[in-house]
Amino acid sequence: MTIGGKVTAIIADDEPLLRIHLHEKLLALWPQLHIVGEASNGIDAAEIIARLAPDIAFLDIKMPGLSGIEVAQGLESEARVVFVTAFDQYAVDAFESEAIDYVLKPVTDARLAQTIVRVQKSLAEKTPAPDIAALLNALMKSSSGNASSANKLRWIRANRGDTTYQIAVDEVLFFQSADKYTVVMTASGEHLISTTLNEIISGLNSEHFWQIHRSTIVNIRNVTSTRRDGEGRMNLYIKGYDKPLAVSRAYQSLFRQM
């Protein structure tokens, strides 16, 4: 949201000195930029973005609560995302290929100046915000591209009382975060496991399991249809489950052909 003709931004990083460092560099290189908020964790960052709708979000990738990528997944605004990252080259390649900018730590004036020019051009030309879903898909494929299929997750073990269930991954309809647990939903019912969604996704076949929300991964082979409401929100319908699943805006482009 532009304020008084100024472009607005937020900065999210769990290290105070790095936030201050980036803030000072941004104001020196782009005096017209109006930094409207800062956050020390992903949950606060998501709240600030939802409330203030900044034009740009500078997000550290590794933060408590939610990672920068998880915050980006849940965006319902047109904010341009700039990841501040210490990731290795495979991730940088993915950022480049999907036209989402990044700044490697430690942040340098020269690299930040390039980012500013890139973002300014995007805002001036009113180009659509980059496709977050495509980035995340590229990241997943890049990180697991050399992995053997033998290393893919095939079974989920879930305890219920004194009984341990062995669930074939192919039988899972979807995974969904729920407080401190992850729901594993099958046609025969749900199970709770303590493994996080981020830990699960790294072992899944990305051709069969798609993330549709920061809290939901679905087995795409069981999707029957999608439907939009009057406000453009999308819901997904799955064979064997009678309730719709919300698709966040960042992932709606995955279903353009449906």
154-210 pLDDT, tens digit per residue, is 889 888 888 888 899 999 999 999 878 999 999 989 999 988 887 888 788 888 899
For the chain, the average pLDDT equals: 82
Complete DSSP assignment for 87-134: --HHHHHHHHHTT-EEEESSP-HHHHHHHHHHHHHHHHTTPPPP-HHH
For residue 6, the 8-state DSSP code is: B
What CA–CA distance (Å, rounded) separates 222 from 187? 10
Tens-place pLDDT, residues 32-42: 999 999 999 99
Give the CA angle between residues 86, 90, 96 to the nearest 5°. Answer: 85
CA nearest 95: which of 129, 135, 145? Answer: 135
Query: In angstroms, rounded to a whole number, what is the distance separating the alpha carbons of residues 38 and 41?
Result: 9
| Tens of pLDDT, residues 216-225 | 999 999 999 9
Contact predicate 70/25, CB 8 Å: no
For the stretch 93-133, pLDDT in tens is 545 544 467 788 788 899 899 999 989 988 888 776 666 66
User: Residue 6 and residue 11: Cα distance in Å, rounded?
Assistant: 16
State whether CATH 3.30.70.2740 applies to domain 149-255: no
Candidates 3.40.50.720, 2.40.30.10, 3.30.420.40, 3.40.50.2300; CATH matching 8-144? 3.40.50.2300
Q: pLDDT above 70 covers what percent of the chain? A: 82
What are the φ/ψ torsions at residue 248 (nearest 5 degrees)? -70, 160
pLDDT band (50, 70, 90) for residue 72: confident
pLDDT on residue 135 = 60
Cβ-based burial of 254 (10 A; exposed 0-12, middle 13-18, buried ≥19): buried
Residue carrying the six token digits 């501040």: 84
Does 140 have pLDDT greater than 80?
A: no
Kind plus residue range of the DSSP H or E element containing 72: helix 68-73
Task: Please tell me the predicted confidence (pLDDT) of residue 4.
Answer: 61
Higher local confidence (pLDDT), 76 or 194: 194
26-53 burial code (b ≥16 CB/10 A, e <16): beeebeebbbbbbbbbbebbbebbeebb
Q: Hey, is 231 helix, strand or coil?
A: coil
pLDDT value of position 199: 81
Residue spans of the domains in the chain: they are: 8-144, 149-255
Return the pLDDT at 99. 43
Mean pLDDT of 18-30: 94
Spatial strand order in the sheet of 216-219: 189-193, 181-186, 172-178, 216-219, 209-213
